[in-house]
Amino acid sequence: MTDERGAELLRRGGGPRRATFLELFLDVVFVFAFTRVSQRLIHDITVGGRRLPLDLAQTLVLLLALWMVWSLTAWATSHYDPDQPPIRAVMVWSMFGSLVMAVSVPEAFDAHGLSFAAGYVAIQVGRSAYLSLALRRHAQRHLSDRILVWSAVSAVPWIVGGLVDTDARLPLWAVALVIDYVGAVVGWPVPSLGRAKASAWTVTAEHLAERYQQFIIIALGEMIFISGVGFSTSEFTLLRWLAFADAFATTVLLWRIYFHRAGSVLAEAVAEAAEPARLGKSATYTHLAMIAGIVTTAVGFELVIAEPTGHIDPVRFAAIFGGPALFVVGRARLEYEVFGRVSWSRPVGLLVLVLALPVLVRLPLLGIAVSATAVLTGMAVVDALRARGRPPEHPATPM
């Protein structure tokens, strides 16, 4: 393959700027993957007992692994042309590997540890190795070469963790994730090649922003799925109807708060940034926080629907109230990344959540969920009032 052929794999000015249908197809796999993570988290909370901290740490490792796979795939299709056959092959390969990981999630720290690790390593190592081969002598090959080296290093604790006893699996996989995330943060430095600077990874602003937006929709869809399944398999009592309606209202509020206004102009902010890739990388971890908040909120509503008059404990409280709080923290960071400031309603809303703790702990689960929804409603109302009669605010990213 010549340098010219390698250059054809890169995005060009006239190439597609929106997500392709194949990318949306990949997202379907992650809808399923997120339901597996949520169900595992629900199981952790309801039957965890003494092992609960360990079970929660295990579930967090699985979520971080899935997010790493999705985010690097999204970056690859924003840097390379997703209509080129080699990039489509990478997408299909990532899709199957993600599906293997998803079906392994429930027993990933038991009988299916090796299949989860193998799916992850196959995607991470396979993607970079294939791109390095496809690019050959093109200068952009050095980017995939760096990622390949780091992925190969982290593959060792991933595979070993899948083979050893389950008690040793968590620390090994945690080490592997640290390697992967540190590599992404520092630019995968390799001797003789150095590290990849942000400017080396050119991104298509509209495409990358759209992928983040679509994943938020995926997480919100998973929240509807979890609450819907939980409600449909229970008795239709009045309190459960109220819990189900509150879950739907919270889902709409999270959607509203995200897309007004920072989420909707993220593409413009990335395009106007002095270093678009730097903003894109920062937004990766911002969206990870919001995704984790949405998943936790979905689990909280599953618990509320199952037992609306149940008494609170620290773990259930963290799910019902901590999920929305984590989402708001991530959303506040996104607002800073896009506009260089944070609306006062965000810290005030979080402060209200903290100050209300002495009262909230005396309420049943449904009362706590409704209180969290009320705080989110206040934020959405403040957003609407602030924008009323004013021209749309344009991005002013500090990056």
Give the CATH number, domain containing residue 217. Answer: 1.20.1410
Specify whether 69 is located in the same domain as 164: yes
Please count the structural domains in the chain. 2
Question: Which two tokens mark 283?
Answer: 């937004």
Asked if residue 396 belongs to a domain, the reply is no
For the stretch 102-154, pLDDT in tens is 999 999 999 999 999 999 999 999 999 999 998 877 777 888 999 999 999 99
Cβ-contact 330, 272 below 8 angstroms: no
As a dihedral over the C-alpha atoms of residue 83, residue 131, residue 34, residue 220, rounded to 10 degrees, the angle is -40
Query: Would you place residue 2 in the very low, low, confident or very high pLDDT band (cuts 50, 70, 90)?
Result: very low
At residue 236, the pLDDT reads 97
pTM recorded for the entire structure = 0.94
User: Would you give the distance in Å from CA 345 to the centre of its chain?
Assistant: 24
Specify whether 11 is located in the same domain as 73: yes
Q: Please name which of 85, 109, 100, 115 lies closest in space to residue 29, comparing C-alpha atoms.
A: 100
Cβ-contact 161, 168 below 8 angstroms: yes
Specify whether 143 is located in the same domain as 267: no
Instruction: Say which DSSP state 319 is in.
Output: I
* C-alpha distances out from residue 76 to 92, 168, 267, Å: 13, 33, 17
At residue 203, the pLDDT reads 84
Cβ-contact 368, 309 below 8 angstroms: no
Q: Please name which of 242, 287, 148, 205 lies closest in space to residue 18, comparing C-alpha atoms.
A: 205
Specify whether 179 is located in the same domain as 210: no
Specify whether 234 is located in the same domain as 373: yes
Asked if residue 397 belongs to a domain, the reply is no
The whole-angstrom separation of Cα 85 and Cα 128 is 16
Specify whether 231 is located in the same domain as 182: no
Specify whether 114 is located in the same domain as 220: no
Asked if residue 60 belongs to a domain, the reply is yes
What φ, ψ does residue 310 adopt, rounded to 5°?
Answer: -65, 155
Higher per-residue pLDDT: 11 or 269: 269
The whole-angstrom separation of Cα 267 and Cα 280 is 10
Among 184, 200, 216, where does a domain finish? 200
Q: Which domain holds residue 166?
A: 3-200
Task: Note the maximum CA span of the chain.
Answer: 69
At residue 197, the pLDDT reads 77
Query: Would you place residue 192 in the very low, low, confident or very high pLDDT band (cuts 50, 70, 90)?
Result: confident
Please report the DSSP string for 285-305 in residue order: HHHHHHHHHHHHHHHHHHHHH
Specify whether 193 is located in the same domain as 248: no
Higher per-residue pLDDT: 134 or 66: 66
- Of 10-19, 120-129, 137-146, 202-211, the least confident: 10-19
Question: Which two tokens mark 14?
Answer: 């006239």
Q: Is the pLDDT of residue 293 over 80?
A: yes
Asked if residue 394 belongs to a domain, the reply is no
Specify whether 103 is located in the same domain as 229: no
Cβ-contact 275, 399 below 8 angstroms: yes
* C-alpha distances out from residue 152 to 6, 71, 80, 143, Å: 23, 18, 22, 14
Specify whether 172 is located in the same domain as 258: no
